[in-house]
Amino acid sequence: MNSIVNRLRRLEDSGHGHCPECYQRPKTTLAYYPDRGERPPQVPTCLSCKRPLAHVVRVVFEGEEGGGY
């Protein structure tokens, strides 16, 4: 799990992923759990270019819970 977090941090810090028109980047990460009946969250968008200003993560579990590291 630690390597995924580090890879995401490096990607965010590298300057990639910003809007070519307004240069804004997603500012937050929104997670939701469809197995718990949650729906995808409303994502804020840029007023000028309408691009999303958040990363949305769909969290699903396979097998028994508690097997993470």
SS (H, E, C) 23-47: CCCCCEEEEECHHHCCCCCCCCECC
For residue 69, what pLDDT is reported?
Answer: 47
Structure tokens at 52: 């999303």
In a domain, 43, yes or no: yes
In a domain, 14, yes or no: yes
Compute the average pLDDT of residues 37-65: 84
Average pLDDT over the chain reads 77
In a domain, 65, yes or no: no
Task: Write out pLDDT tens, residues 29-50.
Answer: 899 999 899 999 998 888 888 8
In a domain, 67, yes or no: no
In a domain, 63, yes or no: no
In a domain, 42, yes or no: yes
Please provide the distance, in angstroms rounded to a whole number, between the alpha carbons at the two ends of the chain. 7
Residue 14 belongs to domain spanning: 2-58
Q: Is the pLDDT of residue 54 over 50?
A: yes
Task: Write out pLDDT tens, residues 9-29.
Answer: 776 666 556 676 777 777 788
In a domain, 48, yes or no: yes
For residue 66, what pLDDT is reported?
Answer: 56
Nearest to 57 by CA among 35, 23, 31, 28: 31
Total domain count, the chain:
1
In a domain, 35, yes or no: yes
